[in-house]
Chain A
Amino acid sequence: MFKEQNMAGTTTTKKSSQIWSREWLKAFLRKYAIVVIFLAMCVAMSMMTSAFYQPNNLVNVVRQISVVGIIAIGVTMVIITTGIDLSSGSVLALAAVLAASFGQQPDWHDAKYPGTVFPLIVPILVALLVGILSGAINGGLIAKFKIPPFIATLGMMTVARGVALLYSNRPVSGLTDSYNFIGQGEIFKVFPVEGRPPLGLPVPVIILVVVAILSHIMLTRTRFGRYIYAVGGNEQAALISGLNIGRIKIGVYAIAGLLSGLAGLVLSSRIGSGQPGLGMGYELDAIASAVIGGTSLSGGVGTIWGTIIGALIIGVLNNGLDLLNVSAYWQTIIKGSIIVMAVIIDERKNR
């Protein structure tokens, strides 16, 4: 298209093609502003400290965001329907302690089920089922009892944390090697520099990428995915168009719960123990990732890749500020300001 216009060559068309390309640039920036901001941040960090762009550090950043990233994908879908999920951090903790208890070494001194070895599939299924169940309860309360999502998931946030503590008020440790591989393992290991630690692809990152790709395909290429946007775009219109709103909402919250459960499995495995206090405040980081990535709290708008960039922005910020020895207090202040700024930019471009 560009080529044709440039080839036309006369002054008038040249002028119009310039306008056209400026328009195009505007449209490009409008759509990919968040990517540009992210890249600019990476360049800025690299200039301030050479530690940032070391391969090991970059892998580290992606590993650090993987747990919140997994949650944020589910939260994005929920927010697209004009909902919110405050329970993800607590559901993560509940799934973590439950799953970990089925992944302990049989001779561990503090084992929940001493002497029993469960195959790895058991803790995995436990984590996912706990997640789905909590999410479906959220969805049911919202769809059938018409409770605002904020309240329903606030309730679940408190209840799930309580159940986690009830099940085990101590860390569930002594996990098997195979369990720990989920969070600590790496594949495709290479040794780029002699004497340096090996470089590999962490399993949590692979899980995040797979979840992201599957979710993206679901949102863009399946009926259920399009219905999620339709419900968020105009629930009443979606109802009249023959959509089963209740079923869609329960499905979306169940998926969000499933991903929180998966995140619980990954996190407990990464730190080698399931703890009832895990994931505190993760729900807010997940919401922030989605919002920075362009998901609109008023519904109908949001993408998975946007959310992943959002999570990366938070991750680079945390990592970079750590490397620069910025105090933790300042870090929270900077993080909060960036979240608000992202929404301001988003609001502006919509005008």
Chain B
Amino acid sequence: MSENAILQMENISKSFPGVNALNSVNFAVRAGTIHALMGENGAGKSTLMKVLDGIYAPDGGQVTFQNQVVSIDSTHTALKLGISMIHQELSPVPYMTVAENIYLGREPLNALGLIDMRRLQADTQALLQRLEIDLDPAAVMKDLSVANTQMVEIAKAVSYDASLIIMDEPTSAITEREVAHLFKIIRSLKERGVAIIYITHKMDEVFKIADDVTVLRDGNHIATMPVAELNKERLISLMVGRELTEIFPKDFAEIGEVILSVQNLTRKGLVENVSFEVRRGEIFGIAGLMGAGRTSVIEGIFGVQKIDSGQITIKGKPAHINSPADAIHQGMALLTEDRKLTGIMSSLPVRDNMTVASLPSYEKRGFLDQKRIEKSINEEKDRLSIKTPSMDQLIKFLSGGNQQKVLVSRWLMTLPDILILDEPTRGIDVGAKAEIHRLMCKLAQEGKAVIMISSELPEILGMSDRILVMCEGKVGGIFERKDATQEAILEAATGQHLPQDKEYV
């Protein structure tokens, strides 16, 4: 393999306070191939790639790129060598145009030293055409969808004439159709001899697009092999280091009385006349395409956004919810979709991140009861097996999966009756995913109602007792578990055919 390797990273080590992120890792990529980099959250994928991209300086090890030992001390150096990276968190300059974003920092200049707008526009047009991306170079970034922003980032990476492009979970926020387009672009890059390192959590994608796979676990290199020699089960067991017996550990709970009832919920332009009921012991899935209004419904119920009309009844009593505080008071909890934006408080330690929603219950004569807090958070840490060196560790130093567990425990500490989980396993490794699924079942068995929004159909089908499918802001259908098939849900989500459950209409 090493003869035609474009990149070789040898014995790369990197540690952070309290964490050994990379342990003498070896990683090689063959020229002109697509190489998937897999591993659970915290396995060291992102750290390894940040070393390669010059964001982190490794504690030890050697990087050889195109047969030359190189020292990459900044992203700038990486780009000059021909390595460009598309980060998971996109960072466009929102008020600049597509063209200005792509050529930021290397704008073509005219004779006067001013930016040559015409050439900038033309170059961008040519680049986008070559990649078959249908976008106006003069469009302002902030007006683009997530998927299109992603496409611009890819165009930008390509525009550097990179011979190695790193893509960190490029499909985590885009739809199936856009994924297909992305894959087409990736394949055409490959044909032109560009090597691609592809980081993802999605198994199917690996088998669809990658040539080789490298698996990391706990900062160690576990295996590198051609995809052809692998199957899904083998890959999962390499990643988690043990056999996962079933992917969706669904346990059935006794279904109790109706605890939450939503009647004709409407938010103008977003959600129209949505009605449904959720019972104790039930896992209630909400499916739908992006922009179908799943999150808008939840934000309305939880008081994050004002609703225009509709009636919410909790435990048989009409509930007036004007703020998240009201919702929490009514026994609801909301794990939001975007961990970074609306979930973690990155500058604060694990402790505060856990307790923030339940502090009122730990108050004693105006002061916080530190002993009881200490006891509770340690119980939560054990219950969810959260890996952190201490409760005083800043949450930003935890892996994504552990951050998510901290957020789940934040809500469990409020002792909710109704748990709303918006994409609870997005961007989380298989191990943590299974743990969260098991926890959901356990909570349902304790008589709580669990509402789960998910874009992953297998997850919806595997976990839910009933499924609400949203379609363009309306109810596209409500399915019993036994009637729910992939096809039926997709039909309801795309509105081609509207099956309706009599009980709820």
Complex contacts, B343 vs chain A, CB 8 Å: 234, 237
In chain A, positions 218-238 with a C-beta closer than 8 Å to chain B are 221-223, 226-227, 229-230, 232-234, 236-238
26 CB contacts below 8 A, A to B, read A23-B17, A26-B17, A27-B17, A221-B367, A223-B363, A226-B359, A229-B348, A229-B352, A230-B352, A233-B347, A233-B352, A234-B344, A234-B346, A237-B336, A237-B342, A237-B343, A237-B356, A238-B345, A238-B356, A239-B323, A240-B336, A241-B324, A242-B357, A243-B325, A299-B347, A300-B345
A155 to B370, CA, bound (A): 40
In chain B, positions 346-376 with a C-beta closer than 8 Å to chain A are 346-348, 352-353, 355-357, 359-360, 363, 366-368, 370
A57 an interface residue at 8 Å Cβ cutoff? Answer: no
B31 an interface residue at 8 Å Cβ cutoff? Answer: no
Chain B interface residue number, banded: 20 to 34
User: Does the CB pair B410–A241 fall under 8 Å?
Assistant: yes
Complex contacts, B368 vs chain A, CB 8 Å: 221-223, 226
Q: Contacts A223-B359, A226-B356 hold; do A240 and B304 have CB atoms under 8 A apart?
A: yes
User: Does the CB pair A300–B328 fall under 8 Å?
Assistant: no
User: Does the CB pair B357–A241 fall under 8 Å?
Assistant: yes
Complex contacts, B302 vs chain A, CB 8 Å: 240
In chain B, positions 310-357 with a C-beta closer than 8 Å to chain A are 323-325, 327-329, 334, 336, 341-348, 352-353, 355-357
Task: Pick from B355, B410, B414: contact of A226, CB below 8 A.
Answer: B355
User: Does the CB pair A230–B325 fall under 8 Å?
Assistant: no
Complex contacts, B336 vs chain A, CB 8 Å: 237, 240
A56 an interface residue at 8 Å Cβ cutoff? Answer: no
User: Does the CB pair B356–A230 fall under 8 Å?
Assistant: yes
Interface string of A224-268 (1 = CB under 8 A from B): 001101101110111111111000000000000000000000000
A242 to B355, CA, bound (A): 12
Residue of B nearest to A244 (CB): B325
Shortest B393–chain A CB gap in Å is 12
Extra contacts, 15 of them, besides A237-B344, A242-B324 (Cβ < 8 A), are A221-B370, A222-B367, A223-B360, A223-B368, A226-B359, A230-B345, A230-B352, A237-B343, A239-B323, A240-B336, A241-B357, A242-B325, A242-B357, A298-B347, A299-B347
User: Does the CB pair B347–A232 fall under 8 Å?
Assistant: yes
Residue of A nearest to B325 (CB): A242
Interface string of B275-289 (1 = CB under 8 A from A): 000000000000000
A134 an interface residue at 8 Å Cβ cutoff? Answer: no
Residue of A nearest to B395 (CB): A233
Residue of B nearest to A217 (CB): B367
A244 to B366, CA, bound (A): 17
A126 an interface residue at 8 Å Cβ cutoff? Answer: no
Complex contacts, A240 vs chain B, CB 8 Å: 302, 304, 324, 334, 336, 342
Task: Pick from B304, B341, B348: contact of A300, CB below 8 A.
Answer: B348
A239 to B357, CA, bound (A): 10
User: Does the CB pair A233–B346 fall under 8 Å?
Assistant: yes
Task: Pick from A26, A27, A221, A233: contact of B345, CB below 8 A.
Answer: A233
A242 to B302, CA, bound (A): 10
A296 an interface residue at 8 Å Cβ cutoff? Answer: yes
Shortest A197–chain B CB gap in Å is 42
Task: Pick from B17, B323, B345, B367: contact of A237, CB below 8 A.
Answer: B345
Complex contacts, A299 vs chain B, CB 8 Å: 347
Complex contacts, B363 vs chain A, CB 8 Å: 223
A99 an interface residue at 8 Å Cβ cutoff? Answer: no
Most chain A CB atoms below 10 A, which of B347, B355, B359: B347
Complex contacts, A241 vs chain B, CB 8 Å: 324, 328, 356-357, 410
Shortest B403–chain A CB gap in Å is 12
Q: Which 6 A-B pairs have the closest CB atoms?
A: A233-B345, A300-B347, A241-B357, A242-B328, A242-B325, A234-B345
A226 to B377, CA, bound (A): 16
Task: Pick from B323, B334, B348: contact of A233, CB below 8 A.
Answer: B348
